[in-house]
């Protein structure tokens, strides 16, 4: 089976390297390698990290030549060379046969496992396609489970249930998602309500539309856990699920917080899914990379007896993969010491 990816410029991986200071330009490492040999499992992020202190600025150094009609992908064994074009550092690919190809963002067809890997979408696929962040009382106004088949309290895949409420598409075979109210999120600084997490429970199809009454009979086609009374129904969300992401810094200065973490755990590690207090209104976009900071503690100076606030300490990176009006979902690329809810996120 073949798959289409957008070549080098959409690939992202997980090698943190040295922590860099915020910058709008690519910063070469010191010392910077003249060449790098690609090994199996490498990604754009890995290789960019080998050359750059701030790998999210990869567009500054990967040379694009749109006149190459059929540019080649990067494969294990290829040699990445650092060259200077018009005085600016650029990377090119030197293959064993002596030919050199410059990198270009073209769509290409690959055989599985031949080229470098993309982001592990299985880590976030359920969030991309199922669970949602809602605002206000959207879930409370939605139709709900009023009873299970044979008056059962818990319903599973293959069972039937009865729903009460108004379904926009009240026809046989119409599909809906089942959701359960999970948690409401607020901004830790302002107290503003940001949104509520509607956790995916499963899917249903209408078996018998409501007629004279407001009761609809449904078949349960998929579940992630048992369906309960009062679980809610929402129309399937029509959206394109991105399969690749373009890591980049935000286009404007932003600052927010981690306000939640998937499944309510307290410790956040690499590849954790987190909820951020930044969204569409903050000009945050899918693919934006943000730095995570631990807020500096306030301590007592034992010499002067004054209160002193220590500097914020950078502890990781997170990439936004889905945005809502006031919130976004992010995948933690790197986590250092004790990343937790309420940590600060801002431009890298």
Provide the percentage of residues in the chain whose pLDDT is more than 70: 72
> Tell me, what's the pLDDT at 119?
56
CA distance 114 to 194: 43
Phi and psi dihedrals of 40, rounded to 5? -60, 135
Residue-wise pLDDT for 248-296, tens only, equals: 889 899 999 999 887 666 678 888 889 999 999 999 998 899 999 988 8
Residue 16 is predicted with a pLDDT of 34
Q: What's residue 87's pLDDT? A: 77
Q: Is 136 exposed, middle or buried, given 0-12, 13-18 or 19+ CB atoms closer than 10 A?
A: exposed
Residue 207 or 10, more confident: 207
Residues 6+ apart with CB under 8 A from 70: 106
Residue 314: name the closest of 285, 288, 343 by CA: 343
Tokens 């890997």 map to which residue? 117
Q: Are the CB atoms for 25 and 53 separated by under 8 Å?
A: no
* Mean pLDDT of the region 199-218: 89
Among candidate residues 173, 152, 164, 150, the one with its CA nearest the CA of residue 213: 164
For residues 197-203, average pLDDT: 90
Give the C-alpha separation, 77 to 205, whole Å.
51
The answer to whether 161 and 218 have CB atoms below 8 angstroms apart is yes
CB contact at 8 A, 56 and 63: no
What sign does the CA torsion over 77, 78, 82, 83 have? positive
Q: What is the pLDDT of residues 291-332, one digit of tens each?
A: 999 888 889 989 998 999 888 888 888 989 889 999 999 988
Contact 85, 118 (CB under 8 A): no
> What does the pLDDT read at residue 121?
58
Instruction: Pick the more confident residue, 241 or 39.
Output: 39
Which residues is 314 bridged to in the sheet?
A: 293
- Residues 6 or more apart whose CB falls under 8 angstroms from that of 71 comprise 7, 65, 101, 102, 103, 104, 106, 108
In this predicted structure, the answer to whether residue 7 has a pLDDT above a threshold of 50 is: no
User: How many CA atoms within 13 Å lie on the side-chain side of 153?
Assistant: 0
Contact 330, 276 (CB under 8 A): yes
* Alpha carbons within 13 A on the beta-carbon side of 136: 4
Residue 242 pLDDT: 55
**Average confidence score pLDDT of the chain:** 77
Q: How far apart are CA 312 and CA 76, in angstroms?
A: 39
For residue 198, give the nearest of 127, 124, 278 by alpha carbon.
127
82 forms bridges with which residues in the sheet?
91
Residue 112: per-residue pLDDT: 39
Contact 91, 68 (CB under 8 A): no
User: pLDDT category, 185, cuts 50, 70, 90?
Assistant: very high
Is residue 325 within 8 Å of 279, Cβ to Cβ?
yes
For residue 117, the model assigns a pLDDT of 43
Highest mean pLDDT out of 29-43, 121-135, 248-262: 248-262
Q: Which whole number is the average pLDDT over 86-115?
A: 55
CA distance 182 to 290: 26
Q: What is the pLDDT of residues 68-87, one digit of tens each?
A: 233 345 677 778 888 887 77
């Amino acid at each position: 089976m073949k798959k289409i990816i957008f070549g080098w410029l959409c690939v992202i991986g997980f090698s943190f390297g040295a922590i860099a200071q915020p910058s709008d330009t690519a910063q070469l490492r010191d010392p910077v390698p003249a060449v790098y040999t690609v090994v199996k499992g490498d990604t754009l992020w890995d290789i960019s990290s080998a050359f750059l202190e701030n790998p999210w600025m990869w567009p500054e150094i990967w040379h694009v030549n749109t006149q190459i009609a059929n540019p080649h992908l990067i494969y294990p064994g290829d040699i990445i060379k650092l060259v200077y074009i018009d005085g600016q550092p650029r990377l090119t690919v030197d293959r064993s046969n002596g030919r050199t190809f410059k990198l270009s963002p073209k769509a290409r067809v690959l055989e599985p496992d031949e080229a470098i890997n993309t982001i592990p979408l299985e880590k976030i696929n359920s969030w991309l396609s199922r669970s949602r962040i809602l605002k206000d009382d959207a879930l409370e106004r939605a139709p709900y489970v009023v009873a299970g088949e044979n008056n059962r309290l818990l319903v599973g895949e293959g069972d039937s249930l009865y729903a009460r409420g108004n379904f926009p598409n009240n026809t046989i075979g119409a599909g809906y998602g089942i959701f359960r109210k999970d948690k409401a999120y607020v901004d830790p600084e302002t107290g503003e309500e940001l949104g509520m997490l509607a956790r995916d429970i499963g899917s249903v199809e209408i078996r018998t539309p409501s007629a004279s009454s407001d009761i609809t009979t449904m078949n349960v086609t998929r579940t992630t856990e048992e369906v309960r009374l009062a679980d809610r129904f929402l129309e399937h969300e029509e959206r394109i699920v991105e399969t690749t992401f373009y890591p980049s810094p935000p286009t404007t200065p932003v600052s927010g917080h981690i306000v939640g973490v998937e499944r309510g755990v307290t410790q956040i590690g690499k590849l954790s899914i987190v909820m951020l207090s930044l969204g569409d209104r903050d000009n945050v976009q899918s693919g934006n990379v943000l730095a995570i900071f631990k807020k500096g503690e306030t301590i007592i100076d034992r010499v002067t007896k004054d209160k002193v606030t220590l500097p914020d300490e950078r502890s990781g990176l997170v990439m936004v993969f889905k945005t809502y009006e006031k919130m976004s979902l992010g995948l933690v690329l790197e986590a250092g010491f004790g990343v937790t809810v309420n940590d600060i996120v801002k431009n890298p």
